Structure 1
Amino acid sequence: MIQTNVVVTTTTTTTTSTKSTITKNINPESIVIKNLSDGETLTYSLVLIRGQAPGCCTKINIRTQQHHNLKSGLVTEWPIIAGEFRILVDLPRGINKLQLETANGIKKQLTLIHEPKKSRLRVTPIYVICAGHDGYFQGPASEDCSPESAATRIGLGARLLQSLTAEKLQEAGHARKTFQLERDLDGPECLVMHSMLNVDTARAMNQHELWEFVGREIMKGPLASRDRKYLAFLSCTKYRGAPSPRTHEATLASTQGHAALGGGGLALFGSACLHTWPTTLNQVLPKFLDKTIIDTDVLMDDSNYRGTYGGCLATTLGSVLHELAHTFDLGHTREGIMGRGFNYVDHVFIDKGIVTKKSPGNTDNNRNPRNGDLQRSTITLSKPLSVTVTINNSNNNNNNNNSQSITSLANSKAPRPCVLPELFGDNSKTKDLVANENSINRTSPDIDLQFNHQNTYVFETSFCQPDKIFWGPSCATILAYHRWFAEDNENEIINDHNSHYYRNNCQIEYIAKRNVIRSSFGIRVIELRQVSTGMVINYRQFPGVRPPLEAVVPPLSSPLAHTCYDAPLVIFAEDSVGNVLNITASLHTPEF
């Protein structure tokens, strides 16, 4: 239990240049940090610290430096279960000296450096209030359900996912990279947007209609920017009650204005379970462990059939990560975060000993403990989404009654100004929420290079999966080289092997006649996906310092391939600088 309140303050996206190491020959009477190295640099501020402490200890304190005086810093207390602990600490920018100490006086010093990225690419959390709605989300009378509380919960939830993403990429063998948030650029924790969409109309729409409308409205308004992806929540979600719903489908049928859908540049969600989310760091652990039973007569149960507030938090926070990952071009996988593994994000922040202790009878986490049925959640395995909007300059200049109102609600004591993009200079420009910016340059000169088959990996069986929360191998590679995870600005010149290049999706192409992908920067990953579901059915990765400039598209002879060889498939590829190719094509026997 955390006894000291922690103020949630500024954060910045992740990236770690130094590899974390686990100390061998551990002294049983010492504190050992398992996932971070002393002096490590992080680009995000909300950091998860995992470690070991002597088995006799049950609690550990962490003190953070304030004003260059470690003794005057904030102190928070965290549990030690079976010798393991997990701590969340909020780092200000610069050098942070931390001191961990158990109740019996065992101490450990740890220095972490927080340096924001230089990129302008970020994720912008938005709370969408429909016309005619007061902005208060549905929840029990004991909870603050105001727009201000919603913005705080969304902001902290986004930071938890930012930290989780970094940890899971590190576990997958890549650097500790993650996406950047609006607050990392000194923007607000969460923006509140007053939509022109009427609340009754919104509640009559399905989630695809809501996603398209909100996407168009955002891209016609002052928040429109190619440097942003949007994480939006609808205030007007209304659960109408369903006594003891036996299926998740029955729950959804009783819910209006709900969405859990992501793709292109927008991930959109309902707010019916937002009351289970924490508002401060000291609430994170208790909220995940909250065994309060959901009253389904009045509140939505989106807990993966766990039936508790803590289960609702885990499933809904995980579904946000899953759908947000679609905006980073990820497809679906059989397991892991892009499958159904997102339901278990609580396992990242809670030690396994706590989970086991609290749930002794639940041995199969993928089964409904009430009736043994397979569990469900709001995620639907559907094809990727896209919407293209043409924005006229007049729409941005006339902000009287024709555009939404944007409010900045920050989670910090000091107000953060709302930073909006400059107006478009041209009379009309097309902005889109589509991730598939794939005009292919078929006039590029042929690249005559031998394929390096030794650097090709198909279905790596050695991939480490410490829990159900993991990025599949190809998903992790896509994120590791994705523009939204890069250190520099998308539009800046980058240096690669002493040569200067511009990032441009036109520089990666599919040559159908030879069934190869080509990029002058080197291919990092190729996936085949089903058109209808976006399910990855085969992939290849190309690690190392010199990836091939050309690579053959993987065959359909994998255990996941159940598609006719000539049936249309999505071919997705990414190169070393984040150029992506995302096309639908029918594969044929290559001609060499």
Structure 2
Amino acid sequence: MFCGKHNAREGPVIQFLNVKPNDQFTYSIVLIRGQIINYNHRMGVTHLQIDNENITSCIESAEITTDGKFKVAVELAPGMNHLTFQFCCVTNAIALVFNQRKNPHYLLRIFYIICQNHDGHFQTKNNADNSIECACEKINLAIRMVQCLYAEMMTKNGFARKTFEFVKCVPFYSSLSIAEARQWDQNQLWKHHAKEILAQENDTQHRYKYFGILASTLCENGTIKGNTALGCGDVALFGSGTMHAWPMKFAEIQRCFQDDTLVDGKLLMNDSNGRNSIGGCYATALGSLTHEIGHIFDLGHSRDGVMGNDIDYVNRMFTIEKNPRDLPRRQISKCSNNLKQDISTGGITNNRRLTTIKKSNPILANYHCRRNDDLTFLTENCAIMLNAHKWFNQTDETETSSSSIQYDSKRKIIESMLPLALVEIRSKESGMCMQYYRFDVCSATSAAVADPFNFTIAGNVIEQNYDLIAIDKNGHIMKWSS
């Protein structure tokens, strides 16, 4: 039945664009995009309601664009979830399944790092809760959002919704004093905390990667101290400076994204790329988290997308931005080589964070197609890397431990026991990607490669100083530096 605003012939229909009934997810926050067919914004109904009967009092609202499109993040409970979408006089229901992986082999461990002589409280305003418990809840929610981001970005490149698994955040008590932490630069902080974490964990099976949030970050009269945003090797670190803008509960996410409350940069850290708002700080923080976590999953930089300049637009993935605007382009820098000095635990010395720049050619059209105007995406080579990556596939190591990849630098030949998935050649001097090769299909952005077991690099793409990274279909990675 249709209400007085519609008739049976032209009544609205709720259509889902990126999910179908009984789709299964290994992560709990899911992005749903859809469209209201025969939508007329002049009727005055601009939102639709979403109810998940499996989560008590979980009713979400999604804004509808003038052309009838909508997108909304929903939280799933374990098992089958029955969601009902209602717009004006019509409804549409869909069942989605959340089954978290059992006993995943590869995990991201999350720490809230607290220095000596510090109570662990992060900086906030108006006597808001800034306890250690609150910090861990905010961090867990943020990482769940990053899980969803990676899964959705993978689909933009035609892959399945793959993402990583993580262990819930716990406090990590550092030997570094709070006074020292607020005097050191981000490279010093990363070296100290990375060495501490790897020494304590002693992960001889190489099952874990690590992400730490620093409680030491402080904004003092506009000066930021004890802060870092850096991912290198198996460890990424990020400051707690904008945690005042992060939600602690799922129901607060949409409000936080759309919160235009101004941030006083003299009292609280304002990393929003010019938006100067709570929502801007939250969007940039999620983009930065996604970026730094990408580095410990062996991704380099790219010119565009979350591994490049577009870390500030994550809000566009989950909500309708009322007044979209272009923000200043970020300056993405190469990871300093001296970070790997004096760290002898966990194999960090063989990992490098590099800048990857694609050549200017018609692939820009493909970029814009994948963006869908939200500017949050992975370039093709990054998506290929993650599609084969162990942390995104949870391959049983006992089944694939015999594989190896060898590189003969004199003959420029890569030999692999298993089929290669991707080879990247990066300039050692500038950190830029000169060329990459994918081995599954031919594409407009990469050369066709006939033999995935024995690959010769063309001489015209080799510089005197270069870095090489190769990954096979089971996620084994080889890194070589000239």
Give the structure-1-normalised TM-score: 0.70
User: Residue 486 of structure 1 aligns with which residue?
Assistant: 393
- Alignment equivalent of 1:105, drawn from 89, 96, 102: 89
- Alignment equivalent of 2:36, drawn from 39, 53, 76: 53
- Given that 1:136 and 1:145 are in contact with CA atoms closer than 8 Å, whether structure 2 keeps it comes out as yes
Judged with a 3 Å threshold, the aligned counterparts in structure 2 of structure 1 residues 572 and 459 are, in CA distance, closer, same or farther, namely farther
- Given that 1:388 and 1:432 are in contact with CA atoms closer than 8 Å, whether structure 2 keeps it comes out as no
Residues 1:465 and 2:370 are matched in the alignment: yes
Deviation, 1:170, is 0.7
Deviation, 1:459, is 8.2
Judged with a 3 Å threshold, the aligned counterparts in structure 2 of structure 1 residues 223 and 37 are, in CA distance, closer, same or farther, namely farther
Residues 1:572 and 2:469 are matched in the alignment: yes
Alignment map for 1:11-50 (pairs within 5 Å): 29-50=12-33
Residues 1:550 and 2:454 are matched in the alignment: yes
- Alignment equivalent of 2:76, drawn from 77, 91, 96: 91
Aligned partner of 1:552: which letter?
T
Judged with a 3 Å threshold, the aligned counterparts in structure 2 of structure 1 residues 508 and 227 are, in CA distance, closer, same or farther, namely same
Residues 1:319 and 2:288 are matched in the alignment: yes
Residues 1:366 and 2:327 are matched in the alignment: yes
Aligned partner of 2:398: which letter?
E
d(CA) in 1 for partners of 2:475, 2:481:
19
Q: Deviations over 1:188-211 (max 9, x none)?
A: x31111212110011111111111
Aligned partner of 1:469: which letter?
T
d(CA) in 1 for partners of 2:410, 2:333:
35
Deviation, 1:223, is 7.6
SS at match of 1:492: helix
Runs of 5+ consecutive residues of structure 2 not aligned to the other structure: 1-9, 353-360, 443-449
RMSD: 2.6
- Given that 1:537 and 1:556 are in contact with CA atoms closer than 8 Å, whether structure 2 keeps it comes out as no
- Given that 2:232 and 2:335 are in contact with CA atoms closer than 8 Å, whether structure 1 keeps it comes out as no
Judged with a 3 Å threshold, the aligned counterparts in structure 2 of structure 1 residues 98 and 223 are, in CA distance, closer, same or farther, namely farther
SS at match of 2:333: coil
- Given that 2:395 and 2:474 are in contact with CA atoms closer than 8 Å, whether structure 1 keeps it comes out as no
| Stretch moving more, 108-117 or 576-585 | 108-117
User: Residue 236 of structure 1 aligns with which residue?
Assistant: 216
Q: Deviations over 1:32-82 (max 9, x none)?
A: 111112111111111111111252442222222339xxxx77433332232
Alignment map for 1:378-457 (pairs within 5 Å): 380-383=333-336, 386=340, 431-433=346-348, 436=351
d(CA) in 2 for partners of 1:73, 1:287:
19
- Given that 1:121 and 1:228 are in contact with CA atoms closer than 8 Å, whether structure 2 keeps it comes out as yes
d(CA) in 2 for partners of 1:528, 1:366:
30
- Alignment equivalent of 1:348, drawn from 317, 341, 345: 317
Deviation, 1:234, is 0.7
Q: Deviations over 1:524-582 (max 9, x none)?
A: 1111112245332221111149962122335655xxxxxxx542111111111111111
- Alignment equivalent of 1:63, drawn from 30, 51, 60: 51
Aligned partner of 1:525: which letter?
L
Judged with a 3 Å threshold, the aligned counterparts in structure 2 of structure 1 residues 233 and 503 are, in CA distance, closer, same or farther, namely farther
User: Residue 420 of structure 1 aligns with which residue?
Assistant: none
SS at match of 1:204: coil
Deviation, 1:386, is 4.0
SS at match of 1:87: strand
User: Residue 190 of structure 1 aligns with which residue?
Assistant: 169
- Alignment equivalent of 2:260, drawn from 291, 296, 317: 291
User: Residue 410 of structure 2 aligns with which residue?
Assistant: 513
d(CA) in 2 for partners of 1:240, 1:223:
36
- Given that 2:54 and 2:82 are in contact with CA atoms closer than 8 Å, whether structure 1 keeps it comes out as no
d(CA) in 2 for partners of 1:290, 1:92:
27
User: Residue 403 of structure 1 aligns with which residue?
Assistant: none
Q: Deviations over 1:347-366 (max 9, x none)?
A: 11112xxx2x335xx4xx13
SS at match of 1:517: strand
Residues 1:502 and 2:401 are matched in the alignment: yes
Give the structure-2-normalised TM-score: 0.85
SS at match of 1:342: coil
Runs of 5+ consecutive residues of structure 1 not aligned to the other structure: 1-26, 183-188, 243-253, 368-374, 391-429, 438-457, 494-500, 558-564, 586-592
Judged with a 3 Å threshold, the aligned counterparts in structure 2 of structure 1 residues 38 and 574 are, in CA distance, closer, same or farther, namely same
Q: Deviations over 1:310-354 (max 9, x none)?
A: 111111221111111000111111111111111111111112xxx
User: Residue 111 of structure 2 aligns with which residue?
Assistant: 126
Judged with a 3 Å threshold, the aligned counterparts in structure 2 of structure 1 residues 30 and 529 are, in CA distance, closer, same or farther, namely same
SS at match of 1:341: coil
**Aligned length, in residue pairs:** 445
Q: Deviations over 1:88-118 (max 9, x none)?
A: 222222222222222x231112121222235
User: Residue 59 of structure 2 aligns with which residue?
Assistant: 75
d(CA) in 2 for partners of 1:389, 1:114:
40
- Alignment equivalent of 1:168, drawn from 153, 162, 172: 153
- Alignment equivalent of 2:305, drawn from 336, 342, 347: 336
Aligned partner of 2:62: which letter?
W
d(CA) in 2 for partners of 1:108, 1:30:
8
d(CA) in 2 for partners of 1:339, 1:106:
42
Deviation, 1:471, is 0.6
Aligned partner of 1:37: which letter?
K
Judged with a 3 Å threshold, the aligned counterparts in structure 2 of structure 1 residues 178 and 556 are, in CA distance, closer, same or farther, namely farther
d(CA) in 2 for partners of 1:556, 1:314:
41
Judged with a 3 Å threshold, the aligned counterparts in structure 2 of structure 1 residues 556 and 208 are, in CA distance, closer, same or farther, namely farther
d(CA) in 2 for partners of 1:537, 1:383:
20
Aligned partner of 2:47: which letter?
K
d(CA) in 1 for partners of 2:294, 2:233:
10
Judged with a 3 Å threshold, the aligned counterparts in structure 2 of structure 1 residues 74 and 258 are, in CA distance, closer, same or farther, namely closer
d(CA) in 2 for partners of 1:121, 1:313:
28
- Alignment equivalent of 1:278, drawn from 242, 247, 257: 247
Which portions of structure 1, spanning 4 or more consecutive aligned residues, are displaced by more than 6 angstroms?
none
User: Residue 199 of structure 1 aligns with which residue?
Assistant: 178
